[in-house]
Structure 1
Amino acid sequence: MSTIKGPAVFLAQFMGNEEPFNNLDSLCKWAANLGYKGIQIPTWETALIDLDKAANSQIYCDELKGKVNSYGLEITELSTHLQGQLVAVNPAYDTMFDGFAPDNVKNNPKARTDWAIDTVKKAGSASGKLGLTSHATFSGALLWHTVYPWPQRPNGLVTMGFEELAKRWTPILNHFDEHGVDVCYELHPGEDLHDGVSFERFLEATNNHKRANILYDPSHFVLQQLDYLAFIDIYHERIKAFHVKDAEFNSTGKQGVYGGYSDWVDRAGRFRSLGDGQTDFAAIFSKLTQYNCDVWAVMEWECCLKSPEQGASEGAPFIQKHIIEATQKTFDDFAGGEIDKEQLKTILGLSS
């Protein structure tokens, strides 16, 4: 068994216009002072990384990695959550998701898709040059507006949707494979890959591509009322990244999973800071360790109540407390010894 690495922090939700949240050096110093050992970098934040340079220059990547290492930190993964989202956008969401795209491809869905595919590929090249083995992203969604269908979905719609999703992602997966990097999809409501069944459909459509893997985030499963521990039992071989994020689900006589269009603080299901929700992290860390999942434990802050600063300060010790130093011994090793076949026969009643 291997020990989960960490604690680490996803920087996306902490970016801002003021120190220490507006540049890489200050964020590294801030994270290290809080006890983090790794950072997950959102590639759309140009204050943290120049993705074009990273994709093409080993020198730039060595310097970037060296800068992060100088603070006692490692880069855990690069993230293309926003760009990955734009690989597949149903027209119903064009206006809202155009906000994630550069101006030159807005109001042009085909150009936006082409840009997104190219950008995620650049992140694959950069990941390889940085010596990373996993990458965090979203799948995008063509089918999400039909997830709870009325009227009923026409026959063949789901199959066609996943075939198209696979058509767009397969060249990306092949590119990541050339660089030895796993694409880890965060299974998330709003994405076509949002649970185990939808991930399996995607695997089938990509011919079980070895680079199609999972970013495990239990908070999204709490909100869907999915068994997040059994999920690890089933899919542990595909779990290559890990967001440590808490959540709670408190249904009422007025609302359930869908939340009645309420703001996050008023929803039945809502994200919480680590330790404030309902997620059994002791069991999660135990299972991931048991299955030898070689992942970084990366805190993602999205609490509807607690400030990001407090969440971050509490997150590092919370994760550290849950990391299990994997044993290399069996507790009853002392009772073992060399194999004595005659003794074994005696125990089994097979002696002559």
Structure 2
Amino acid sequence: MKTLRGPALFLAQFASDEAPFNSLDSIARWASALGYRGVQIPSWDARLIDLQRAATSQTYADEVRGTLAEHGLAVTELSTHLQGQLVAVHPAYDAAFDGFCPQALRGQPRARQQWAVEQLMLAAQASRRLGLDAHATFSGALAWPFLYPWPQRPAGLVDMAFAELARRWRPILDAFDAVGVDVCYEIHPGEDLHDGASFERFLDALGGHARANLLYDPSHLHLQCMDYLAFIDLYHERIKAFHVKDAEFRPDGRRGVYGGYGSWRERAGRFRSLGDGQIDFRAIFSKLAQYDFAGWAVLEWECALKDAAVGAREGARFIADHIIEVTQRAFDDFAASGVDEAANRRLLGLD
């Protein structure tokens, strides 16, 4: 059995132009002081990493690792959530997602998609140079506008969408396979991969590609009223990354899952800082230990109410307190009888 690693922190929500959040060295010093032992790096943020250099220069990749090591930190995964989103964008969302790509590519969906694929290819090489075995991303979405079956979907529409999604991702997955890195899709509303059923549909379209795996974040499952513990039972063999994020769902007579177009503060389903929501993390960490998950527990801080600095400080302690140091022996070993095969046969009445 393996003990889950952590606590770690996803840096995307903290990076800014203000110190100590404006460079990898200073943000690493800050995270280490809070008790974190790893960081998940957003690959699109040039203040923290140069993705192309990390993909092409082992010297630079070693410098990134060395900078973190000086503060007692390791890279847990690189993230391409923004670039992954752009691998597949329905035209209804073109303007909304244009901000995820360089200025020169905006208003050019085909060029934007090509850039996104190139970014994922760089991320595969950068992950290899950084010594990583998992990568965090989004799948993008072609079918999301048709999530609710009204008006009635034309026959074959969803199958076509997932066939195209798989076609776009297969060469990327092959590139990650060539360097021994798992692609971990965060199951998330707004993505075509937003629950277990949609992930299975994608996996079938890919012929069960070994590198198509999961980033487990219980908050997104809870806000869909899913059983986030049963999800681990069903998909633990594909769970290769873990975002520790809390949430609460408190529907009333006015609002439910869809939220009534309200802001995050007004929605029935809200993300919360660790310990402030409804997620049963003791059960989650127990199940991950049971299934021998050996990855990192990474805090993704998102909260409609609490200050980010407070959430980060509390989150490190919260994760550390929930990590289970797995046992290397059975609790009842003291009572082992030490009988041999012949004795077992006699006990079963086989002689």
Q: Using structure 2 for the length normalisation, give the TM-score.
A: 0.98
Question: Deviations 1:282-304 (Å, cap 9, x if unpaired)?
Answer: 00000001001121000000100
Partner of 1:271: 271
- Tell me, in whole angstroms, the C-alpha distance in 2 between the residues paired with 1:348 and 1:215: 46
Partner of 2:159: 159
SS at match of 2:54: helix
Q: CA deviation at 1:344?
A: 3.0
- Tell me, in whole angstroms, the C-alpha distance in 2 between the residues paired with 1:337 and 1:72: 45
- Tell me, in whole angstroms, the C-alpha distance in 1 between the residues paired with 2:172 and 2:342: 59
- Tell me, in whole angstroms, the C-alpha distance in 2 between the residues paired with 1:123 and 1:342: 57
Question: Deviations 1:62-102 (Å, cap 9, x if unpaired)?
Answer: 11111111110000000000000000000000001001110
Partner of 1:114: 114
Partner of 1:254: 254
- Tell me, in whole angstroms, the C-alpha distance in 1 between the residues paired with 2:340 and 2:179: 49
AA aligned to 1:229 is: L
Partner of 1:14: 14
- Tell me, in whole angstroms, the C-alpha distance in 2 between the residues paired with 1:350 and 1:80: 60
Answering whether residue 279 of structure 2 is matched by residue 300 of structure 1, we say no
Q: CA deviation at 1:337?
A: 4.3
| Counterparts of residues 335-350 of structure 1 (less than 5 Å) | 335-350=335-350
Answering whether residue 43 of structure 2 is matched by residue 43 of structure 1, we say yes
- Tell me, in whole angstroms, the C-alpha distance in 2 between the residues paired with 1:104 and 1:342: 77
Partner of 1:198: 198
SS at match of 2:223: helix
Q: CA deviation at 1:268?
A: 0.4
Runs of 4+ in 1 over 6 A off after TM superposition: none
Answering whether residue 88 of structure 2 is matched by residue 88 of structure 1, we say yes
- Tell me, in whole angstroms, the C-alpha distance in 2 between the residues paired with 1:345 and 1:88: 61
| Counterparts of residues 179-194 of structure 1 (less than 5 Å) | 179-194=179-194
Partner of 2:310: 310
SS at match of 1:88: coil
Question: Deviations 1:302-328 (Å, cap 9, x if unpaired)?
Answer: 100001000000001100000000111
Partner of 1:291: 291
Partner of 1:177: 177
- Tell me, in whole angstroms, the C-alpha distance in 2 between the residues paired with 1:14 and 1:146: 33
What stretches of structure 1 of length at least 5 have no aligned partner? none
Q: How many residues align?
A: 351
- Tell me, in whole angstroms, the C-alpha distance in 1 between the residues paired with 2:91 and 2:342: 74
Q: CA deviation at 1:342?
A: 4.5
SS at match of 1:301: coil
Partner of 1:143: 143
- Tell me, in whole angstroms, the C-alpha distance in 1 between the residues paired with 2:78 and 2:340: 53
Partner of 1:5: 5
- Tell me, in whole angstroms, the C-alpha distance in 2 between the residues paired with 1:134 and 1:116: 19
Q: CA RMSD in A?
A: 1.0
Q: CA deviation at 1:347?
A: 3.2
Q: CA deviation at 1:343?
A: 3.5
- Tell me, in whole angstroms, the C-alpha distance in 1 between the residues paired with 2:139 and 2:32: 31
- Tell me, in whole angstroms, the C-alpha distance in 2 between the residues paired with 1:307 and 1:198: 34
Percent of aligned positions that are identical: 64
Q: Using structure 1 for the length normalisation, give the TM-score.
A: 0.98
Q: CA deviation at 1:346?
A: 4.3
AA aligned to 1:125 is: Q
AA aligned to 1:265 is: R
- Tell me, in whole angstroms, the C-alpha distance in 2 between the residues paired with 1:245 and 1:56: 33
AA aligned to 2:329 is: K
Partner of 1:71: 71
- Tell me, in whole angstroms, the C-alpha distance in 2 between the residues paired with 1:123 and 1:74: 17
- Tell me, in whole angstroms, the C-alpha distance in 2 between the residues paired with 1:321 and 1:277: 17
AA aligned to 2:304 is: C
Q: CA deviation at 1:21?
A: 1.0
